[in-house]
Every structure is written in C-alpha cells, then in structure tokens.
Structure 1
Amino acid sequence: MKALLIWPVLPNSFWSFRETLDLAGLRASTPPLGLITVAALLPSTWEIQFIDRNVQFETDEDWAWCDLALLSAMIVQKEDFRSLIQKGVALGKKVAVGGPFPTSVPEFALEAGAHYLILDEGECTIPLFVNALERGEPRGIFRSAEKPDVTQTPIPRFDLLDLDAYITVTVQFSRGCPFQCEFCDITNLFGRKPRTKTPTQMLAELETLYQMGWRRAIFVVDDNFIGNKRNAKVFLRALIPWMEERQYPFAFITEASVNLAEDEELMELMVKAGFTLIFMGIETPDTEGLKEIHKEQNTRRSLLESCNKVTEKGLGITAGFIVGFDHESPGAGKRIQQFVEDASIPQPHLSLLQALHNTKLWTRLKQENRLNDNLQSFHQTAIMNFTPTRPVEEIVEEFIDAFWNLYEPLSYLKRTFRHFMKMQGYRPKAQRELSTGMLRLMLIVFWRQGIVRMTRLRFWVQLGAILLCKPSFFIEYFMTLCVGEHFFAYRKEVRAKLQTQLQELRS
C-alpha cells in the first residue's frame, strides 16, 4: 500500500505566529504529532509519504503515486480538509480520515466523500482499518470506546518531518484530563483518567530528536501535563539527569491547570527539567463565571496569586481567557484586561466562547435551542456560534476592544518586562542554537521595536535592565518580544473581520 499522509492548511490564528515565522524564514509553528504517530502505527510494509501543507503542497506526482490518501484535521482546518477529501475522491483515490475534527463531527467527512473514517484513538482503530482494507472492504467507520494503553504507543515518525521548517517540535506525555469544564472537549476525546507514557518511552523520543540534531523548543502537547501529578514527577525526575548530561538541548513548553501553583515540588522539578513556558486556562477572573462552567479548580485560591507564584518559580505563563459566558456581566473584556495587566501575562489567549461539538456546553445550548451555527471555525475572527444571554454586539465589541488593547505594542512590551522581572527560578546553561532565520528575526525586532516605533526608548531601557538583572532569561525575554510581532499584526485582522461580521448582523 502506498499511503500519502496529508496535514491541511491552518488559517492564520492566534497560534499560527504567521508574521513572526515569515520574518524568521520558517513555515509553521509545530508539526502534526498525531499524523506522524499514525505513520508509526501503520504496517511496516506500507510505503509512506508525508505532506504538511503548511510547509509545502503536494504535487500531481504525489497524488499519482499513492493508492490511499490519509488525512487528519482540527476544526479550524475544515475548508482545506474538505477540499483534499474531494480532490482525492475525484482522482479515484481511496480517502481515509481521522483526528479530532472527524471524531467530533464524522458527518462532515462523510458528506465530503471520505471512504474510511478512523475515529477515536488510532492505537485502537488503525488495526481495524488495516484489517478492513486487507478484506477488500470499500468503505468503513472504525470506532472504539476503549482507551488505549499509551505505554504501547510507538515513537512518532519524526524522520518524516522537515525540521528546519518549524519553530518547535511536539511530543506527548499524557492523554486525558481529570476536570470537567463545560466548554472543553478533551474528556470526550480522551477521557477523564489521564494515561501517561513511561519515562523510558519519553526519553527514547527525546533521544531520537536529539540525534536528529534538534536543539530548540519542544512543545509537550498534553492538554494537562499535571493531570497525573505522580507520574509527571516520576518522568521529570528521570528527565533532569538526561537534560543535564546533554547540556539542556531543549526548552520545554506545555499546558497545565492552575492548581500547578499548589505544588512547590512539581514546579521546581519542571524548572530543573528545562520547562520554561506553561499555558494555563484561566478563562475568566469572575468567580461566578468559573462556577458556571464547572471550573471550580480555579476558585480554590486567588488566581492572581497562583499566576504570580508560578511565574516567580521561573515558569513563564501564557493563559487562556474567554468572553461570552452566560452569567457574565457587562465589562468582562475590561476585567480580563485588568487581570492580565495585574498578573503581567505577556501573551493572553483571548477568544469568544464557542460551543464545541458534543461538549456539555453544546448539549445544554442545543436543548435550549440556542445553537445557530454548527460548524464555526473556532478562532478569534469567528463570532459565537450560539445566542448569548447578553447582546452579541456588546460582547463582540468588548472582545475587539480587549484584544486590540492587550496587543498594543507598548502595552505588550511593558507587560513582558514585568513578567520576566518577577522570575526568580533556575536557568541552566543550555546547548541550544539560534538559526540564521532567528538571528534575522531578532535584527528586525531591534529595528521595528527599538528604532521605528514609539516603543524605542522603553525597548532599550528594558533590554538593558534585563541584561543587568536577569541575564539568564535574556533569550526568552527577547523571543517573547519577537513573537509579539505576530500579535501586533493579527489584532488588525481580528478587528477587521469581526467588525465586518457585526455589520452583517446589523443589516
């Protein structure tokens, strides 16, 4: 079997970092870990070609070569995903699909013409798919309620990647989350009991990347790295000597719940292991809003104190915030802005509330007849896909104002400085590399923020203060400024597209 594995185009979004990547000569922020893991699960007798369309497009020769096109997608990729299914079918190829979007919305792929739907987790359903192919079955939907033992998951096919195209690569330690946030679909996809790989597995994956010459950031893509704190600590204790022996070749990024701040030992282990940045889902500073969405874990202690504690330990924070909850009072955008400034969070991920398929929020809104668009794209330029309790124009205007102000260049610069000045944690001497593209990006940022913009005086003063007071954090600080270039451009797109949609609603 000749299989062409394709990852669709990701439209510009908060996470695309498009402006920054373009300046650095890179093509994409991260590779599709799920698809290269699928490649490792397929029979060794198959011939495989891999295409990330964010890096390069497939050719007519690639389509002519393959017997089967195998696609994965998230909902934000739905337009290119549908086009690829239709193209494969039109060319007479068998098309198989999987991943989070088809698993949540299988009817979309069926309507587009896909022959095979490999849903849920691939360790369970890929063998079912392969067996059906061997029997000559022309179509099929393969599902499994069983949650696989991830200690049996093979090392992803990192060899299929053009590593020079990405700013970070990805690995996964755990699947599942113990919490039950109403708007989140992670427990639907992966369950509430976190399943973790063994330290031996993880070190084997990291060693593979190390031997391939990777010396930059690694995103541990767990939806909650500390969902199983005990196993996370076991892994970290094994990771620390591995990193020390190799002079810290990687900087780790991951996602964790706010209760990380309650565990001093866990934070210290993460810092010693080379973790530098954590995404935390704060959602809202309003306690009643947190209770509404069943995020009680964020109400047990002061959110501001939790953020400060994590930062002071030496872990940078980027945090998720949402506007549009039912019990939200007017001014939610302003309250989020104030919290972000008080906590000095450089990169707040601000979004309008969307109802993801088959979440508790989706089910509730469907029962209340409040859903009005079943297939939104779910990023910052999309208006909510349900009827909110407040006027939608009021919510969207608050969101536009907050997103615009939070990513005003001077505000971003000041916030980033305060954030890094709080850090008191440990930073080992690292064996990392700055590519030619990254050096070019840094020079552009010196020009834009230090000479052209009105930020120039503060830029140089803060740069000197970081070099003097926090020299071990200098590269992280400066790279955060570099990433800001994406947000400065993206806020204009967000405002323009949402204002257009508001005008359409009013007409």
Structure 2
Amino acid sequence: MIILVNPRATRPENRRFPLSIMAIGAALPSDVNWKIVDGNLPGIDAFSVIAGHIEQAAAEGDPVRSVAMTVMPGPQLVSAVPLAKAIKQRYPDIPIIWGGNFGSLYPQPVLNAPYVDWVVQGQGEETFLELLEAIAGRRDPKTVAGIAFRQKDGSHWIGPERIWKGPGELPAPPYHRIDVGQYLRPTILGHRSGVYQASIGCPYGCNFCGVISVFGRREKVQQPERTAEHLRYLVQHHGMDSVHFYDNNFFLNEAHAREVARTMKPLGLRWWCEARVDALCRFSDATWRALREAGLFMVFCGAESGSDEVLERMNKGITTEQILMTAAKTREHGIIPEFSFIFGDPEKPEQEMENTFSFIRRLKAINPDMELISYFFTPTPQRRRTYGGVDAHAGTPDTLEEWIEPEWVAWMTHEDPRLPWFAQKLRTRAQDFDLVLKSRFPSVHDRKTREWGKLLGKAAAWWRWRQEIYDDPRLLRQIRRFARITPDDSQAYGHLRPASAPKPRRSPRIVLTG
C-alpha cells in the first residue's frame, strides 16, 4: 500500500483536483494498491485518515510501504510539516517522501528534517517508481536520478537531474480514483470549474521565475486532441462547464493555438490560460476569433514591468510595446487580459515602481477590462545565477520549522517579502495604488464586495485615479471593509483570487551579494 497525500493548501471551498498525486498514482503498477488523502476536502482530519489507512492495511496484510506528500511553498508547507512530524512520530518505520516544488527548490532544509526520509526533485512519476525499488533494497538509491536523501553519516546526497517526459507520454489522470464532483467548484469561469495541465515546463528564461529551477528552459506539451479527450470525459460524465489551465505557457505558437481552438470548441467550455505577450501579439485576427469562439474567456500574461530596460534585465524576452499590443488585441476580441507586475526591483525600486504605475494606467486606457495581478519581488533559486546581485539562497532558513513562521510564509507567497532594498513605505504605496485601481475598476474576480460597495468605491476613487493620488486612501479602505460580504481569501488558488493586504511582519534574513 502507498498513501499519496495532498496536505492542506487552501480552504475547502477553494479545493481543486490534486493533479500531482493523481499523476503519481496513475504511474504506479497495477498490482500496487494506493490511496489518495486530500487535506483540502471539507471536514477532513488528514492525520486520522492516514493513520486509519495504515492500520487497515497492516490488518489486511498489505502494509504501507511509504507515505508520499506533495509540498508547495506557502500554506501547504505550513500544513505538511506538522503532518509529517505526526506520522513519523507514530509510525517511525514508514518512509516519508516529499515531492513538489518546495523540495525541488530548497532540498537542504527538507533533508535537515528528521521526519522526512526522501526528497523527489522535479518530475516524480518515474523517480517515485525507482525510489520504491531502492526503499525495498532492490537497487542503490544513488542510481536513482531526481532524488535526495540523508546518508548514514548525516551528509546530504542530491542526485542528478532526471530527464523528464511530457504529459502525453504519461498515463491519463485517474479521475475514477477521486470524487470528481467534490472538486468542481464555482468560479468566475462557471458553476462547475475544474483544472487541467496540458504541458510541463517553460522554454523561456525569465530570471526571477522558479519554474526554471525545477525544469530548466524546456517545455513538453501533449497533443491538443489528448487534452480534449480528457476534458470531454469530465464534461460528459461530470458536467464540468469551465476549466483553468495550469500550464506555465499554454500556446507554443500560432499553429498550436489554432489547433487548441479547434479541439476545444466542441466542448463548450469557458477557460483561462497563461500565455506570452510576444506570442499573442503575433496572432492573426482569425486566430484570436477562433480562440474566443472556442471559449477563451481570460488570458494571464506576465508583463512584470513598464520599463524595457528592466524587462531586458529580467531576461523576460518581451517589450512594453508588445504588452500594449496584447492589451489592444484582447479588447478587440472580447477577451479579458490579466497582466502581472512585480514591485520591488532590487536596483531601482522606487523609480521602477512609479514607472510601472504609469504604464498600468496606459494599459487601463487601452483596455479598461484589464485585470492587475501584482506581486512583490521575491528571490527564487535558479540554476547557476543570481538576480540583480541577490543570492536567493543566502539567509534563507536551514530548517522547516523556521520556513513555516509567518514572515517566511509571506515571503514564499510574494505577499510581504521583507527585503532590505524595498522599504515599508514603498510596499504601502504599492498596496495603496492597487486599492485605488481596484476601487475605480472593480475586479471581475471580486464576488465578495456588495454591489453598493463597488459603486461607491468607483465614485470615491474617481478623483484619486484622475489626479494620480494614491497615498493613504482611508475612505476606500472603509468602503471596502463595510461592503465586504466575506474577508479576502488569501488561500484561494492561483490567479482566481483577490490580493489581500499583508500584515506587518519581522524581516526575513535576505542579504545582497556581489
């Protein structure tokens, strides 16, 4: 028996398919018994469920061979640490395996934790199978690519990277092993929204992005026909009406986009995806129309900065002119664009932030439906480099216990990274700008503010937006507070959530090098 665990990462009402552990389970041989435990389900006590599976498996003569957990940075790490501790304390002989992005980015603190035995780095399907052989004593663990572990002398072994495969080379998601209906939740896309991932990796070299650390500058994409086949099953058998694609880069090129549109259109789904502005601005009007007719409702693009100089320093590979062109194209074809921007440039934080404010205003003038997704810059480990003189590992915690303290959770989620070059007054100004913009132009995501509050906020923000005055918008904060149906939810998944203003926290120990 293998137990695959998705520790709590969000509130139950925001749960989504546990795609990562579903993929691991699908790759296991048919004679291996496995169960999924999803800590995001309502009313679940993950430890009690896991313990029950362990006791039952032992009684039935199929003892649990390992407990494998997927762990993302942020709220999921906060849940995973005490859960792994509790399992190891009660069942010390059962190997605990961690996979997911956190261990891939930061293996050392995971290996410092006595309650985690193995770390799977990068793509896990084949690595996990070989690791099970090593745990059973049938092979030397040092021959397994993509794993890390503590050696007998306490030193850490971090193996070579595994050559990974695209989704089209791996088994289909095992939807029959979960209660699909529990995961189809209402979003702005529809009443029964699901999630899907049709590719892995990204071929671009943005030097602030953690995707490169896990997969390098590579992307593998399955054929659109196979994607449509899996989605068709969910539509026909479970009534899914919309889908949020998790791909880091959904369109390879225009020909691929047209094929996606062709296969998606018969499904009748409304969908969200992530794409590059340099690709989108090259699409013909015919391709844009095809995508809109196929159900594309919203497209997320990493704009990041309103400065060509900064974009070049980021190795982003796009220009401000391309961002403006994409805003115009989305307006022309009735597709809502989401543009992300990073505040907290290490070299010229104040100048860059003010420049980006001005650029966002230009985007809003071109396409008033444009949605802003803003982040604070957070150093992320990347292959053989630093960004702007920032060593992303320097000063980060050596233990998981410190990683789950509030200030480091805020750092991991980009909500409030306390960095020496980005003063509190700049963070506050960025938050005030965001409030003025989203009061003047209520977000399509905002379903938690009463309509009277949106109308009052629009009117109250009109003068501030017109005069470019963002400091200390007390009235707007009061309107938002009184008009909220429920508080902002910082544990909602991905970009389908509003940003929340973080509370002051102690500064993490990030230092500059070079």
Q: Same fold by TM-score, threshold 0.5 exceeded?
A: yes
Q: For 2:331, which of 291, 304, 311 is the aligned residue?
A: 311
Instruction: Report SS of the residue matched to 1:155.
Output: coil
Conserved? CA contact 2:288–2:333, under 8 Å: yes
Aligned partners of 1:7 and 1:115: how far apart in 2?
17
Q: Give 1:325 shift.
A: 1.8
- 8 A contact 2:418–2:507 mirrored in 1: no
Q: Unpaired runs of 5+ in structure 1?
A: 11-15, 19-25, 421-437, 460-480
Code of the aligned partner of 1:372: G
Q: 1:65: how far off?
A: 1.7
SS in 1 for 2:238: coil
| Residue number in structure 1 paired with 2:117 | 115
Decide which structure has greater helix share.
1
- State the distance in 2 between where 1:193 and 1:123 align: 18
Q: Over residues 61-80 of structure 1, what are the superposed CA-to-partner deviations in whole Å (9 max), with x where a residue is unaligned?
A: 43232313210011113222
The match for 2:288 among 267, 273, 288 is 267
Task: State the alpha-carbon separation in 2 of the partners of residues 107 and 485 from structure 1.
Answer: 36
Label 1:84 to 1:414 Cα distance change in 2 as closer, same or farther (>3 A). same
Distance 1:30 1:413, change over 3 A: farther
| Match of residue 149 from structure 2 | none
| 2:214 counterpart residue number | 189
What letter matches 2:299 in structure 1?
Answer: I
Letter in 1 for 2:77: K
What displacement does 1:52 show? 2.5
Task: Give the letter for the 1:86 counterpart.
Answer: K
**For residue 252 of structure 1, what is the aligned residue in structure 2?**
271
Confirm whether residue 412 of structure 1 aligns to residue 438 of structure 2. yes
Give the aligned length.
428
Taking the aligned partners of 2:170 and 2:96, their CA distance within structure 1 comes to: 24
Report SS of the residue matched to 2:337.
strand
Go from structure 1 to structure 2 and tell me whether the alpha carbon gap of 1:54 and 1:29 turns closer, same or farther (over 3 Å shift).
Answer: closer
Residues 419-448 of structure 1, C-alpha deviation per residue, up to 9 Å, x if partnerless? x9xxxxxxxxxxxxxxxxx9xx96x75xx2
Q: Matches of residues 23-422 of structure 1 in structure 2 within 5 Å?
A: 27-55=13-41, 56-66=44-54, 67=64, 68-76=66-74, 77-92=76-91, 93-112=94-113, 113-135=115-137, 142-143=145-146, 144-159=161-176, 160-161=178-179, 163-165=181-183, 166-167=185-186, 168-240=193-265, 242-243=266-267, 248=268, 250-259=269-278, 260-264=280-284, 265-299=286-320, 301-328=321-348, 330-344=350-364, 347-359=371-383, 362=386, 365=389, 371-374=394-397, 376-377=408-409, 378-384=412-418, 387-388=420-421, 392-393=422-423, 396-408=424-436, 411-412=437-438, 414-416=440-442
Question: Partner of 2:97: helix, strand, or coil?
Answer: strand
CA distance in 2, matches of 1:338, 1:293: 19
For 1:473, the equivalent position in structure 2 comes to none
Amino acid at match of 1:97: W
Query: Contact 1:194 / 1:227 at 8 angstroms: preserved in 2?
Result: no
SS at match of 1:117: strand
Q: Do 1:115 and 1:138's aligned partners in 2 also have CA atoms closer than 8 Å? A: no
Q: Structure 1 residues 398 and 359 mapped into 2: Cα distance closer, same or farther (>3 Å)?
A: farther
Kindly provide the CA deviation profile for residues 126-179 of structure 1, in whole angstroms up to 9, marking residues without a partner as x: 231233344467977651431214322222123314533534422112222222
CA distance in 1 between counterparts of 2:6 and 2:377 reads 26
The letter of the residue matching 2:271 is F
Amino acid at match of 1:114: V
Counterpart residue type for residue 289 of structure 2: E
| RMSD value, Cα | 3.7
1:311: Cα distance to partner? Answer: 3.2
Q: Distance in 2 between matches of 1:323 and 1:452?
A: 26
Change (3 A) 1:121 1:353: same
Rounded to whole Å, the distance in 2 between the matches of 1:284 and 1:69 is 42
In the other structure, the counterpart of 2:477 is none
Task: Name the % identity.
Answer: 17
Rounded Cα–Cα distance in structure 1 between residues aligned with 2:360 and 2:200:
29
1:134–1:350 CA distance, 2 compared to 1 (3 A)? same
- Tell whether the 8 Å contact from 1:182 to 1:359 is kept in structure 2 after alignment: no
SS in 2 for 1:294: coil
Aligned AA (2:171): P
Are residues 58 and 162 of structure 1, via their aligned partners in 2, closer, same or farther at CA, if it must alter by over 3 Å? Answer: farther
- Aligned partner of 1:196: which letter? V
Q: Counterpart of 1:36 in structure 2: which amino acid?
A: M
Q: Which amino acid aligns with 1:164?
A: Q
Shift of 1:496: 2.5
Once residues 337 and 455 of structure 2 are traced to their aligned partners in structure 1, the CA distance between those partners, rounded to angstroms, is 26
Q: Work out the CA distance in 2 between the residues paired with 1:293 and 1:325.
A: 10
- How far is the alpha carbon of 1:120 from its aligned partner? 1.7
1:172–1:483 CA distance, 2 compared to 1 (3 A): farther
Shift of residue 279 of structure 1? Answer: 1.1
Query: Tell me, which stretches of 5 or more residues in structure 2 are unaligned?
Result: 55-63, 147-160, 187-192, 398-402, 462-482, 492-496
State the alpha-carbon separation in 1 of the partners of residues 253 and 225 from structure 2: 17
On the 8 A contact 2:377/2:414 being kept in 1, the answer is no
For residues 229 and 503 of structure 1, do their structure 2 counterparts lie closer, same or farther at Cα, with a shift above 3 Å needed?
Answer: closer
Structure 2: which amino acid aligns with 1:261?
C
CA–CA separation in structure 1 for the residues paired with 2:202 and 2:290 = 21
Q: Secondary structure at the match of 2:34?
A: strand
Aligned to 2:488: 486
CA distance 1:121–1:370, change in 2 (3 Å): closer
Q: 1:337-373 deviations in whole A, cap 9, x for unaligned?
A: 3433432355422111111123565477466x99333
Structure 1 length as normaliser, TM-score?
0.73
State the SS of the aligned residue for 1:354. coil
Displacement of 1:181 in angstroms is: 0.8
User: For the Cα contact (< 8 Å) 2:224–2:260, is it kept in 1?
Assistant: yes
Q: 1:201 and 1:379 mapped to 2: Cα distance?
A: 33
